Amino acid sequence: MRLGWLVALLMLAPASLPAQPSTIRIASAAGSTRHPAILLLHGRGGYAAGKDFYDRYASHLASHGYDVYAVQYYDAADERIMESPDRSTRQDRFGRRLRGWIATVREGIGYVSRQPTTDAQKIGLIGFSNGALIALGSAGLDRRVGAVVELYGAMPSALSGEITRLPPTLILHGDADEVIGVEKAYSLERFLRQRSIPYAIHIYPGADHGFDADPASPEAQDAEQRAVKFFDAQLKK
């Protein structure tokens, strides 16, 4: 009897444990009411490599009434390849995985929208570098996104023929960026202006890629404040 019971139990058990969700809450607003939600999209190095940096932004947003979720859109192979010193290897991976990454973000938007603490009509994206491209691509294809804050990113050129609109967008970029040149910020600004899409842009003089890495720097503190003010203006109407 005991053996038969054990066999039956094993037959009913799942073959493997469910995978860890790609979208995790990393900071929560105070209170029990529904809150606007922000999905945070990491840069080229992945979420774990920059956890302290991303959590700093998340905590700041949460203190202003936002639930913040990190979308870990890389798989293990992505993390390894995107850390390659060879730029062409990274660019090839980006091109191959762009749509898959965006699909993961859009799944994350659906997951966040279903949370009982989320005001599903007030969802924003904040993306850094590689994550800024993914944020813009996701927002251009998903009308559930109400606002985007993009830091030192660009519109993904592979989707230029598909994206005809964006939600209100904040552009933050350094004019000395040697990874994604500041001309990409001005190109995005033209896209928004030509379509009469609400936007704001701030270019930091002399600032390179990742100018907000040092939390004590004036640029970092300014960027955090601008991000909150922009989300407040667009998601707390």
What digits encode the pLDDT tens for the residues 48-70? 999 999 999 999 999 999 999 99
Reported as a pLDDT band with limits 50, 70 and 90, residue 14 is very low
CATH number of the structural domain spanning residue 163:
3.40.50.1820
Domain annotation covers residue 159: yes
Domain annotation covers residue 216: yes
Domain annotation covers residue 203: yes
Q: Which domain holds residue 198?
A: 21-235
Domain annotation covers residue 69: yes
Work out how many domains the chain is built from and give that number: 1
β strands within the chain, DSSP E: 23-27, 35-41, 67-71, 118-128, 147-151, 169-174, 199-204
Domain annotation covers residue 13: no
Which tens digit of pLDDT belongs to each residue from 20-38? Answer: 468 999 999 998 889 999 9
CA distance 98 to 105: 11
**Residue-level pLDDT at 19:** 38
Domain annotation covers residue 8: no
Domain annotation covers residue 48: yes
Q: Kindly report the number of other CB atoms within 10 A of residue 138's CB atom.
A: 29
Domain annotation covers residue 70: yes
Long-range contacts of 2-11 (CB under 8 A, 24+ apart): none
SS3 for 52-84 is HHHHHHHHHHHCCCCEEEEECCCCHHHHHHHCC
pTM of the predicted model as reported, rounded to 2 decimal places: 0.90
Which tens digit of pLDDT belongs to each residue from 96-110? Answer: 999 999 999 999 999
Mean per-residue pLDDT, 110-124: 96
Mean per-residue pLDDT, 110-130: 97
Specify whether the CB–CB gap between 153 and 131 falls below 8 A.
yes
